[in-house]
Amino acid sequence: MDKLFDVSGRTVLVTGASSAGLGRQFALTLAGRGATVVLAARRESALRELAAEIEKAGGKAHAVRIDVTDLGSVKAGVAEAVRLAGPIDGLINNSGTAERVPLLEQTEESWDRVLDTNLKGVWAVGAEVARHMVDQGKGGSIVNIASLLGLRQAPGITAYAVSKAAVVQLTKQMALEWARYGIRVNAIAPGYFETDMNRKFLNSDLGKEMVKRVPMRRTGTHDELVGAMLLLISEAGSYMTGSIISVDGGHAVNAV
């Protein structure tokens, strides 16, 4: 049965892999199961450290600098990933950012920063990798990282929520248009998992009160996202495209 989830011999590009968050966990898991991972983010030093850690453990990894908000950087970075690791079989579209601010105090600069990274970045990297997959003629799998807040609401984080809701719809549009090329596009909508981006909030009084409203009464651990990711990136999900999988401890269905 485990052969269904086999990723050995595949090359997977993981964006947002430089911080102590979900991208790192995805990369470590894929490399540990035999995939060649290409780690992408803006902080090259952190990428090189993670690549060295993976290789020390017997895995295969390459580091490529990509600024997902810059189309030139995306194009050059994907080309470099192919040069280093060969044809790309999968993409974990994970780069993201959030800024907690009341909507009436939202600035144009802050709004643009969040939307450029979380939405434009997912489109830019996804489209560039898809072009590569079409040229290769063998399809592939793209997993976009959405969010619980793309499906539900919370105060003070509107730009993030809007961007992730758009990622949900973008995922479905990509799935519709690219199925003919053998490219599957799905998304994971995580609930609250502690990362560099949200650690301060989760440890605040407001964050602790929010966690009490999760039906499972806790945040998730990073390895609890691994199953959904492996399902979507591997042949276990070969008849899935346009799907949005929530991994949130039941948060999206909590009582009103």
Q: What residues are annotated to the active site? A: 160
Strand arrangement, sheet containing 244-247: 60-65, 36-41, 11-15, 90-93, 140-145, 183-190, 244-247
SS3 178: helix
Q: 90-93 and 244-247: which strand pairing? A: unpaired
Alpha helix locations (H) across 57-204? 71-85, 108-115, 121-136, 158-178, 199-202
Residues 6+ apart with CB under 8 A from 16: 22, 23, 40, 41, 94, 95, 96, 145
* 160-187 exposure pattern, b = at least 16 Cβ within 10 A, e = fewer: bbbbbbbbbebbbebbeebeebebbbbb
Could you tell me the CA-to-CA distances from 229 to 6, 87, 161, 176, 216 in Å, in that order? 12, 20, 21, 20, 21
SS3 240: coil
